[in-house]
Amino acid sequence: MYSEEISKRRTFAIISHPDAGKTTLTEKLLLFGGAIQTAGAVKSNKIKKSTSSDFMEIERQRGISVATSVMNFEYNGQKINLLDTPGHKDFAEDVYRTLTAVDSVIIVVDCVKGVEEQTEKLMEVCRMRKTPVIVFINKLDREGKRPFELLDEIEAKLRIKVRPLSWPISMGSSFKGVYNLYDKSLYLFRPGGASIGEEVLTVHDIDDRVLDEHLGEYAAQLREDVALLDGVYEPFEQGRYLEAELAPVFFGSAVNNFGVKELLNIFTTIAPPPLSRPADTRAIHPHEKTFSGFVFKIHANIDPRHRDRIAFLRICSGKFERNKFFHHVRLGKDFKFRSPASFLAREKSIIEEAYPGDVIGLYDTGNFKIGDTLTEGEKIMFHGIPSFSPEVFREVLNTDPMRSKQLEKGLEQLTDEGVAQLFSHKQGNRRIIGTVGELQFDVIQYRLLHEYGASCRFVPLSYTKACWLTSTNIKKLAEFSRYRSEHLFTDKDGSLVYFSASDWTLKHVQEEYPEIEFHFSSEVNTGRSGLKARTA
């Protein structure tokens, strides 16, 4: 029974560059899963097209998005957990962290624009974590790039081998549909159709006359394409997909509900159930009976009148139960949770129990930070909840010396939530905030003032990259620290971090110090990948 619960879970995220169609696809999947009844229900979840001046609106939207952070529905006898990720690029860190809590990913690519920058960055994280990915090429109702060109682009930019499992028949105004290579059926496109924009015909094989009847002149082209791609791409092997070495590719049009059900069917056939996860002392298997889980996201400010926060916990093993005591490894204390929540589209409900693969929301009054682990007593910490190199750096200047303590507390807590990263410089107690986007600074300033009564101003710094340093050569590291002390900072765990002003400087420094390793990400909390400052 317990094993069955685990085996039927599929926990995944949809990622894309803004505007590729992630929200639309999410919505269609939820419609098929019966989690929502009408289109438009998840639209409010979008954070995009906003500039820093309307960050208040963004905060409001973030408030709304908490309810749709984790959506679940049943399909084909499986319990699907879909973790939402914010679309705005300034919240990329949030997305990176959410990717640590999923077992697989669907990537949406716009066929007109091809692979865009944000998708490339997100794919880096998937590759690092060996997360299996399925690619959905969207907007086939528009004149886009040629399918072979798109596949080449995916292989080159996302650096993964692909295998198309469906193939489009023309595109744009003459888009006819797709031929499914997996189950050999023809999906005919019916633009603007009522609820499902497709008609499915089973065909014997690619030479079936049914194709000529329905596709006319396009049948020949389809046959030519299929013959070509069978020669170019290796056959689909589920094992290679699960090893994150091969990405199956589908074509469709989310807004027209075309190819979405097909995607969902395949997803439920091939996507992995919860897998084991590496922790510091050993790997944790989902079927182990004792409970473990980690916090990958903290959402604050849900109700501005209260300082409530929700910590999102991914369950890795055992069973979570309401009102049972669990061990908070970092604090060394036991906690029980009276109202753990699960999320179903926009509704939040209290749950009694949850299983590996599930994500639950725990009300928190400041005990959690990202990367925290809950267990039944075992002292483990999960690996792979990294902090990524920020791209924007600003120094914090206190503008109200009477409220220094509040400022310090606010900075600590907001960075625990993962809003941004906090770095310190030994000399002069300088505090630097690093983020992946400009928006966070407005959010931080606003929240410091309204939640902590502290005020500050930010001074831009000309750095563009932060690297965590490790070396087995302590002498060289000490020498580096001496000569480059101006650019050396420590993160919240005390790990040494080098700030660089440009890729060129970084390259130069790397060449000068081959004994030192420069890492572009670190493990939050554990600080394991970085060397502690005191050893330097």
- Residues contributing to the site for ligand G4P (CB under 6 A): 16, 18-24, 46, 48, 87, 138-139, 141-142, 253-256
Provide, rounded to whole angstroms, the least separation between the CB of residue 20 and ligand G4P: 5
Provide, rounded to whole angstroms, the least separation between the CB of residue 31 and ligand G4P: 13
CA gap 412, 429 in Å, rounded: 14
Provide, rounded to whole angstroms, the least separation between the CB of residue 414 and ligand G4P: 26
Using alpha carbons, list the distances in angstroms from residue 404 to 72, 395, 433, 461, 495.
43, 15, 16, 22, 24
Q: Measured from the CB atom, is 113 or 487 closer to ligand G4P? A: 113
Q: Give the single-character DSSP code of 116.
A: -
User: Which of 384, 397, 479, 501 minimizes the C-alpha distance to 445?
Assistant: 397
Q: Measured from the CB atom, is 116 or 288 closer to ligand G4P? A: 116
Provide, rounded to whole angstroms, the least separation between the CB of residue 104 and ligand G4P: 18
Contact yes or no for 319/288 (Cβ under 8 A): no
Provide, rounded to whole angstroms, the least separation between the CB of residue 453 and ligand G4P: 36
Q: Measured from the CB atom, is 193 or 278 closer to ligand G4P? A: 193
Q: Measured from the CB atom, is 94 or 141 closer to ligand G4P? A: 141
Q: What share of the chain is helix, strand, coil (3-state, %, to 5)?
A: 35, 30, 35
Q: At what angle do helices 439-452 and 55-65 cross, to 10 degrees?
A: 80
Provide, rounded to whole angstroms, the least separation between the CB of residue 111 and ligand G4P: 9
Contact yes or no for 235/246 (Cβ under 8 A): no
Q: Measured from the CB atom, is 48 or 322 closer to ligand G4P? A: 48
CA gap 382, 275 in Å, rounded: 13
CA gap 407, 399 in Å, rounded: 10
Q: Measured from the CB atom, is 22 or 97 closer to ligand G4P? A: 22
Provide, rounded to whole angstroms, the least separation between the CB of residue 24 and ligand G4P: 3
- What is the 3-class SS of 321-362, one letter each residue? ECCCCEEECCCCEEECCCCCEEEECCEEEECCEECCCCEEEE
Q: Measured from the CB atom, is 192 or 235 closer to ligand G4P? A: 192
User: Which of 421, 420, 418, 516 minimizes the C-alpha distance to 471?
Assistant: 516
Those residues with Cβ within 8 angstroms of residue 357's Cβ, 6 or more apart along the chain or in another chain = 6, 9, 10, 11, 79, 81, 103, 273, 274, 286, 315
Q: Measured from the CB atom, is 138 or 522 closer to ligand G4P? A: 138
| End-to-end Cα, the chain, rounded Å | 52
Provide, rounded to whole angstroms, the least separation between the CB of residue 244 and ligand G4P: 23
Q: Measured from the CB atom, is 20 or 66 closer to ligand G4P? A: 20
Provide, rounded to whole angstroms, the least separation between the CB of residue 43 and ligand G4P: 6
CA gap 312, 81 in Å, rounded: 13
CB atoms within 10 A of CB 169: 24
